[in-house]
Chain A
Amino acid sequence: MRAWKEDLKNLFYTLFHPFDGFFEMKFRKKGSMALATVLLVLYGLVSIFNTQYTGFIFNFFPLHSLQSIQLFLLEVVPILLFIVSNWSTTSLMNGSGTIKDIWIMTCYSLVPLILFNIVTTLLSNVIILEEEPILTAFYYIGVVWFCYLIFCGLCTIHEYTASRNILTLFVTLIAAIIIIFLVILYFTLMDTVIGFIETISTEISKRW
């Protein structure tokens, strides 16, 4: 219990002092894997909450065909993809962050998104169409804050300069595309293989 309290305190500190916070996390082992994972799951859950409970006026999602698991994956998988591709590029580009560092840093950075998602969802139920800018503003505050945290975090844990960080982010994007390509390739091939085995087994079972 005490450890959790301490972790939350660190998290709160990191949100407002990203450079110091992530530095402490990396070099003084103040980050918590468990808390980070909880935040990631929370992020997925909040996005479901957001889709389901955004007020009628602003909700353009076909709620009659809402699939929570799909939504959850749709939000969480890109984060995982970012973590993996960033790890694979930075380990080649002299980044000193481990995957644990990247994991904790990314998940901690999700906090503003989680908070502002909840705020906009609740707010969207009590405002009218003309007040939409409020909603947009809140949303973008969350996004900008998130980007800021990610940027600072990457700089800190990989010990990069800003320009090198931007370059790495660009390479990360390319790596992510390659990963997606490989995944699709893998599934397509597996599909063929499974189809082949299926055909053979059908053939065998028909003959004997």
Chain B
Amino acid sequence: MAKKKIIAFLLLLALVFMQEPKAAAYAMNTEDHHYTYDFWGAVLKSIPAFELAYTIDGNTMDITVSGLDDVATGGGRVFLIDTQESRLHVFDEEFAYVTSVKLLRNEERKIVLDENGNQVALTNPEGVWFHESQNEIYIADTGAERIVVLDGDGYYLKRLITKPDNMVGVTQFRPSKVTVDSTNKIYFTVQSGFEGIVELNQSGTFSRYFGVNKPVVDLWDYFWKKISSDEQKSKMTKIYAPAFNNLTIDNDGFVYATTVDTAAEKQVFRLNPKGENVLREKGYFPVVGDLKVENKFIDVAINDYGVYALLDQATGRIFLYDFDGNLVNIFGKNGDLRGNFKAPSAIAWFGDKLIATDKNLRCAYVYEMTEFGKAALGAAKSYYYGEWEESARLSKEALRLNANYDLAYIGIGKYYLMQDDFKNAMYYFKLGNEKEFYSQAYNGSRSLWIQDNFIWILAVLLLLAGLLVYSEIRYNKKKG
């Protein structure tokens, strides 16, 4: 009897301790339900790749913050722009407050005066960019119609770039968002400027407008142009570049730009040095964000291995795409809960973290990768750098955490294709609905099959040829 009791007790104990292990900490701080799109455009449940880790707001410094409008990172620091207060805030790697810049000082820490003896201060700046190779901070000082270049360490004024004399066109010199490429060329957007992105040389002279849409003239347009008078022609709307609202640059010197212009064909652009859009869109769908909701992308951030984040103002969602244009993940939303957006304004990568600012909530959210995010983005990273095996391993890990992550199937398939393991490759490509690569794998497996069975194919062909000859002979004989 006692024995039975002990056994029962032990069983009870086992029951208590055998409870499901606590779910792995793939999303410790978020309980959001996220989604993704499959090949057919159906909405599937998904896990966020990033979760809120830290919030930077007015409480972390002693200065009033009236809204954050742009964020830039580099040199282990985060730069935030407050347009209304005309300030640049600097934070270090641990997101501790470093300094704030409003009045511009020269190298001797003296306040810079202009020719009239007034202090030179930031005036409603809208954009900031950290130029790593020259250790310079570029601020688009929109209100004062100039670009301010600060030293990256001392935060003193290096130079001011005002409207160059050789600038053409009707676009005002009101830089809104600015970026600098590896050859020190400066690109900036002008809000609702329809002539494209302005490109300046290093010295600050005007170079050209960039990313101008090539007008597409179809037969219908031609017909109307032909029959209309000069007066009518002048009234016709000309085809301009979309009004780019934000831009960034990747390691290869391609400018990524976004627009909310409804007249624009695309919302996201990857512009080559000629100014043509060469965005790769090899995913299930083009790079449009949501399929049924109209998104308004207001910022784009790209990291070293080509994964770019698009910040959507309309829904407060962040869309991650890899360099091929595959949708990796969707997370974040507008709302009133902690970590939700009211008026998202800018986004930037900070190593493996993402920083997104909100104009209304006057804060910047720091996102860190979840376990799933580490696997999914790790796979994208190792694939980008050619480490196929590591990529396949991480893809499998991502699949274990999120079976709706179709991109991982394709990743694994590519690994097997690389190994000439066509059967497995086909299996995974089929799961990932990747027809192009499936076709390649099938091609390989078909050639192998033909090699293996060549003798039989030859035999059948010979037999057919023999039959044909035989019937011809018989037919001719019959005819006599």
Which residues from chain A sit less than 8 Å from chain B, CB to CB?
56-58, 62, 64, 126, 128-130
Contacts and interface: CB of A to CB of B under 8 A. Distances in A.
Contacts of B440: 128
Q: A interface, by DSSP: helix, strand, loop or mixed?
A: helix
Contacts of A57: 435, 438-439, 442
A57 B442 CA distance: 9
Contacts of B446: 126, 128
Interface string B424-468: 000000100001101110110010000000000000000000000
A64 B439 CA distance: 21
Contacts of A62: 40
Contacts of B438: 56-57
Nearest to B437: A129
B40 A128 contact: no
Nearest to A62: B40
Please tell me the size bucket of the interface on B.
10 to 19
20 contacts: A56-B430, A56-B435, A56-B438, A57-B435, A57-B438, A57-B439, A57-B442, A58-B435, A62-B40, A64-B40, A126-B446, A128-B439, A128-B440, A128-B442, A128-B443, A128-B446, A129-B435, A129-B436, A129-B439, A130-B439
Contacts of B436: 129
Contacts of A64: 40
Contacts of A58: 435
B80 to A, nearest CB: 46
A62 B42 CA distance: 11
Nearest to B429: A56
Given A56-B438, A130-B439, 18 more contacts: A56-B430, A56-B435, A57-B435, A57-B438, A57-B439, A57-B442, A58-B435, A62-B40, A64-B40, A126-B446, A128-B439, A128-B440, A128-B442, A128-B443, A128-B446, A129-B435, A129-B436, A129-B439
A130 B439 CA distance: 8
Nearest to A58: B435
Contacts of B442: 57, 128
Q: Which 5 A-B pairs have the closest CB atoms?
A: A129-B439, A128-B439, A128-B443, A57-B439, A62-B40
Nearest to A60: B435
A58 B443 CA distance: 14
Interface string B136-174: 000000000000000000000000000000000000000
A65 B440 CA distance: 27
Nearest to B444: A128
Interface in B22-49: 40
The CB with the most chain A CB atoms within 10 A, among B442, B443, B446, is that of B442
B259 to A, nearest CB: 30
A128 B430 CA distance: 14
Nearest to A59: B435
A57 B439 CA distance: 6
B435 to A, nearest CB: 5
Contacts of A126: 446
A129 B440 CA distance: 8
A71 to B, nearest CB: 17
B282 to A, nearest CB: 14
A126 B457 CA distance: 15
Nearest to B41: A62
Contacts of B443: 128
A56 B435 CA distance: 7
A58 B40 CA distance: 15
A64 to B, nearest CB: 8
A167 B440 CA distance: 49
A57 B438 CA distance: 7
A56 B431 CA distance: 11
Nearest to B435: A57
A130 B438 CA distance: 12
